[in-house]
Structure 1
Amino acid sequence: MTNGTQWRSWLDNDHWFNDLPAALQDSLLTGMRQRRVTPGKLIIKRGEPACGLYALLAGSVRFNDVKQQRHWLSPQTASKRPYWFGEISLFDERPRRHDVYAQDQVILLHMPQAPLDHILDHNPRYWRMFRQLLGSKLGLGVPARDEMTLLPTAERVAFRLLMLSEGYGELDRSVRIVSVHDIPSSRCLGLTPDVIERVLTDFASRGIIRRDHDFISVLDSEKLRRTARHRLTQLLA
């Protein structure tokens, strides 16, 4: 059994993968590499450039807390396998925000960034599928990359906070703490620091977030999601 055939059997029951065009499925199966990671070993290093797309097949992972004071764990049994993560970097083009470690014996499929970028550069229609993957975690539609800065100011900041706090979905949803230094993004925001600060102050006054020096705690993710709603963030069909 070739790797592609074996991996396809693992992905047979995955709704997102099975809805992809056959050519994109084949490109991912060809480009992905299997990684087996032993407990405690690093999978993603905080601050490193975007490093591609991952599919968690077995085991669980843990994330360093943004304050580096404690860890939080992924569920021992994810709601579904595979669990895809890492696609957020396709949209914000920012360095990785967390150290990600194997909590136990982990099996991953990893699609490196360079071949993934190549596929998307040559097949722009495929962006929609990755927008759907991220949108399923955020509970909102994800605008096309060249439309993100068309959102009104408050909606734009709210959407950015959702990307930062819920971009990994259920894997790190137990704690919603964001470093203020991670918010700026020319692709996602295109706003000056003064404007961002003014919006954050308004969100704090409305009980959506709490400021703690350089950190932001998301207190009400549903209110934040409602604030981010716009015609460009309607869920994709």
Structure 2
Amino acid sequence: MLSKNQQHIVKSTPWFNSLSHEVQSHFLSVLKLIELSRGENLYRKGDQGLGFHCVLSGRVSVSNVDKNGKKLILAQLESGSWFGEISMFDGLGRTHDTDADSDSTLAFIRRDDFHQLLQQFPSSYLYFAQLLCEKIRSAFSYIDTYSTLTLKQQLAKRLVLLSTNFGQQKSAYTNVEVSASQESLAMMINSSRQTVNKLLKELEAQRLIKTMYRKITITDITALKAICEWKE
């Protein structure tokens, strides 16, 4: 059973908030809690999809490993982020690895409960389709980023994405704080920590960010979006 505060986090996500009150109530009634310790794996690529999740506290990383064993972080998801819905529809294995970056609490709906909900409320298919479309758009955006933008532009875009919980929240215009190490940023743009350090210093010299230990404050997100050719 989710606490009132945990239910508030779930309800405050734009996608969930668009559901009817009846569907929301049923959804909340079948949600379970999962506790993860820092570094603990939730699932590996190819694992059977048993349900999908919402981050209530902490942070999880979605990643892949290339043929040389190098880890590439695709997303870091914090409170209010939904993930894992693809396997709910196609019945295939997980598309990526997912691990806890810190002690984390997740809400979880089992695949069977999810499909029972869809059968009981068939009109809710539309809202889940919208959630899937958001992920498809993000995937295309990632492909465009990797193939057309410079490393500096890619880093700027990742900082914007982090400030919006990877598109699941609206970002403020100034003094947006994101938690990310140079190592994790390097894994996000498939580069080295040394290169990321150099690029962060350039952005700081332009007064777009302020760097701290494992934290970055975005002081001018509008200019940062201009650098990475951000499209709303």
User: Once the 2 structures are TM-superposed, how far is the Cα of residue 163 of structure 1 from its aligned partner?
Assistant: 11
Q: CA separation of 1:165/1:35 partners in 2, compared to 1, >3 Å: closer, same or farther?
A: farther
Which structure 2 residues correspond to residues 35-184 of structure 1 after superposition, within 5 A? 35-67=34-66, 69-73=69-73, 78=78, 81-139=79-137, 162=140, 170=166, 174=188
Alpha-carbon distance in structure 2 between the residues aligned to 1:135 and 1:50: 19
Partner deviation per Cα, 1:90-109 (whole Å, 9 max, x = no partner): 33321112221111111111
Partner SS for 1:23: helix
Q: CA separation of 1:16/1:85 partners in 2, compared to 1, >3 Å: closer, same or farther?
A: same
Alpha-carbon distance in structure 2 between the residues aligned to 1:165 and 1:35: 32
Partner SS for 2:133: helix
Q: CA separation of 1:163/1:55 partners in 2, compared to 1, >3 Å: closer, same or farther?
A: farther
Instruction: Give the structure with the larger strand fraction.
Output: 2
Asked if the contact 1:74/1:170 (under 8 Å) is kept, the reply is: no
Once the two structures are aligned, what percentage of the paired residues are identical?
23
Alpha-carbon distance in structure 2 between the residues aligned to 1:90 and 1:4: 25
Task: Work out the number of aligned pairs and report it.
Answer: 152
Asked if the contact 1:60/1:102 (under 8 Å) is kept, the reply is: yes
- Give the letter aligned to residue 39 of structure 1: R
Alpha-carbon distance in structure 2 between the residues aligned to 1:13 and 1:44: 26
Q: CA separation of 1:33/1:125 partners in 2, compared to 1, >3 Å: closer, same or farther?
A: same
Alpha-carbon distance in structure 2 between the residues aligned to 1:53 and 1:77: 14
Q: CA separation of 1:74/1:66 partners in 2, compared to 1, >3 Å: closer, same or farther?
A: closer
Alpha-carbon distance in structure 2 between the residues aligned to 1:136 and 1:66: 24
User: Once the 2 structures are TM-superposed, how far is the Cα of residue 170 of structure 1 from its aligned partner?
Assistant: 3.4
User: Once the 2 structures are TM-superposed, how far is the Cα of residue 4 of structure 1 from its aligned partner?
Assistant: 5.7
For structure 1, the residue ranges without an aligned partner over 5 or more in a row are 141-160, 177-237
Which structure 2 residues correspond to residues 1-40 of structure 1 after superposition, within 5 A? 3=2, 5-40=4-39
Asked if the contact 2:55/2:80 (under 8 Å) is kept, the reply is: yes
Q: CA separation of 1:54/1:102 partners in 2, compared to 1, >3 Å: closer, same or farther?
A: same
User: Once the 2 structures are TM-superposed, how far is the Cα of residue 165 of structure 1 from its aligned partner?
Assistant: 7.1
Which structure 2 residues correspond to residues 196-235 of structure 1 after superposition, within 5 A? none
Partner SS for 2:45: coil
Asked if the contact 2:41/2:100 (under 8 Å) is kept, the reply is: yes
Alpha-carbon distance in structure 2 between the residues aligned to 1:56 and 1:109: 6
Alpha-carbon distance in structure 2 between the residues aligned to 1:82 and 1:48: 24
User: Once the 2 structures are TM-superposed, how far is the Cα of residue 40 of structure 1 from its aligned partner?
Assistant: 1.3
- Give the letter aligned to residue 7 of structure 2: R
User: Once the 2 structures are TM-superposed, how far is the Cα of residue 72 of structure 1 from its aligned partner?
Assistant: 3.5
RMSD (CA atoms): 3.5
Partner SS for 1:108: strand
User: Once the 2 structures are TM-superposed, how far is the Cα of residue 44 of structure 1 from its aligned partner?
Assistant: 1.6
Alpha-carbon distance in structure 1 between the residues aligned to 2:114 and 2:106: 16
Alpha-carbon distance in structure 1 between the residues aligned to 2:143 and 2:88: 16
